[in-house]
Amino acid sequence: METRVARFSVANQEDFFQLHETENGECFCAAWWVPTWDEWRTRTAEQNRQHRAELCQRGGFDGYLLYVDGHAVGWCQVGPRDRLSKLVAQFDLTPDPQVWAITCFQVLPTYRRQGLATLLLSEVLDGLRQLGVSKVQAFPRKGDDLSAEELWTGPEAMYHKLGFRELRLVASRLILELDLAR
């Protein structure tokens, strides 16, 4: 099994759309970009796909794709945290332009439980270090016995394994942080 992680770009944009149409045909990783969760619930898959296409047209390639044997099988959305006003408001975060956020995480079901999510996250963190990012946060649900639908921000244990520390709990979601400068 040959694996690689690639930063989201014009060159692999179609892989992104194919991955999301295959597994998560409604989201297209647009949930955090919509101003409210009430508005999110009324959106169609086509609206979300169009929103993502518009983000890409403006250079909004905010993530990394995981490939296995040449096929995109995983995705991690990551970028400057404060660009997502809904995230900042939901978690009552003090604005900080230095902090980046991992906001979505996906591995196709047939590729889960093989260590690929941890591999993807590890590669994402290396990529962020190369970009000069000093601090990154993640917002997983608390707990180990969660359904696949509850893991769209990644499993808590994976973040802890790679050195994230807990800042606080907000409802059922953790705010975890990793200092990349260390």
CA 130 from centre of chain = 18
Say what the pLDDT of residue 54 is: 94
pLDDT at 148: 67
The mean pLDDT value of the chain amounts to: 92
2 closest CA partner among 119, 141, 125: 119
Quick one: pLDDT at residue 93?
96
Q: What is the pLDDT of residues 122-164, one digit of tens each?
A: 999 999 999 999 999 999 988 777 666 767 888 899 999 999 9
DSSP category for residue 141: B
Which residue in this structure is represented by tokens 């969760």? 37
Estimate the crossing angle of helix 45-57 against helix 13-23, to 10 degrees. 160
pLDDT at res. 7: 97
Q: Which domains does the chain have, with CATH numbers?
A: 3-179 (3.40.630.30)
Alpha-carbon gap, residue 30 to 50, rounded angstroms = 10
Nearest to 105 by CA among 153, 149, 141, 61: 153
pLDDT digits (tens, 9 = 90+) for 24-69: 668 899 999 999 999 989 999 999 999 999 999 999 899 999 999 9
